[in-house]
């Protein structure tokens, strides 16, 4: 079983405009435009990614199992 000690949780808080994380299309790596690459990388590396508005701000929560 996985315990709390086996999971890395990272939360990033900001007060920006916010966005719908599920509406961001995968990036076109052949295009010059840089949009969506960061979210693509985060989703590729982490086990779960959640983004929500809380109390007028935004929280990006990423989790990763530390078990090999």
Assigned fold of 4-65:
Heat Shock Protein 90 (3.30.565)
Residue 1 in this model has a pLDDT that exceeds 60: no
8-34 per-position pLDDT tens digit = 999 999 998 888 888 888 888 787 777
Domain boundaries, the chain: 4-65
The residue-averaged pLDDT of 54-62 equals 93
3-state secondary structure the chain: CCCHHHEEEEEEEECCCCCCHHHCCCCCCCCCCCCCHHHHHHHHHCCEEEEEEECCEEEEEEEEECCC
Q: Give the chain's mean pLDDT.
A: 88
pLDDT band of residue 42 (cuts 50, 70, 90) is very high
Q: What pLDDT score was predicted for residue 28?
A: 83
């Amino acid at each position: 079983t996985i315990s709390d000690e086996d999971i890395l949780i990272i939360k990033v808080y900001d007060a920006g405009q916010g966005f719908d994380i599920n509406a961001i299309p995968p990036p076109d790596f052949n295009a010059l435009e840089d949009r969506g690459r960061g979210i693509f990388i985060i989703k590729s590396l982490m086990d779960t990614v959640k983004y929500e508005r809380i109390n007028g701000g935004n929280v990006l929560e990423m989790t990763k199992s530390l078990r090999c």
